[in-house]
A = this chain, B = another copy of it.
Amino acid sequence: MGITKTEHFTDEQNELAILAKAIGHPARIAIIQHLIKVNSCVCGDIVNELPLAQPTVSQHLKELKNAGLIKGNFEGNSICYCLNEEGFNKIKGFFQQVNTHLENRKNQCC
């Protein structure tokens, strides 16, 4: 098929998957890393930073935005982008659970 059976999973599981999937591309990792470095910048800077055509970058930005991982605001002629806490806070809890688990389990692994 190629179609994910989202209806059989919980909202939380689907939401976490959407967030992780959005992060799961090297171009989008690069965008996030760049925004960490410069705090905020206009779209054009990201286009210059990446080895991809402008429409492709625009598409990646859209996906990050839809997932709630970045925000974009008009700033004169261009659009200023920065990280969106909301999205990252949602995944934070998941990885904290993983870490707590990994720290607490001693040699109970198979």
Q: Which residues of A contact B (CB under 8 A)?
A: 4-6, 8-10, 13-14, 16-30, 32-33, 36, 39-40, 51-52, 71-73, 75, 80-83, 85, 88, 91-92, 94-95, 97-99, 101-102, 105, 108-110
One of B25, B91, B110 near A75 (C-beta < 8 A): B110
Q: How far is the CA of A25 from the CA of B23 in the complex (A)?
A: 12
Q: How far is the CA of A36 from the CA of B105 in the complex (A)?
A: 9
Asked whether B83 lies within 8 Å of A102 as measured between CB atoms, the reply is yes
Distance in angstroms from A63 CB to nearest chain B CB is: 11
Closest 9 CB pairs of A and B: A21-B24, A80-B110, A8-B51, A9-B26, A20-B24, A20-B23, A82-B109, A13-B26, A40-B110
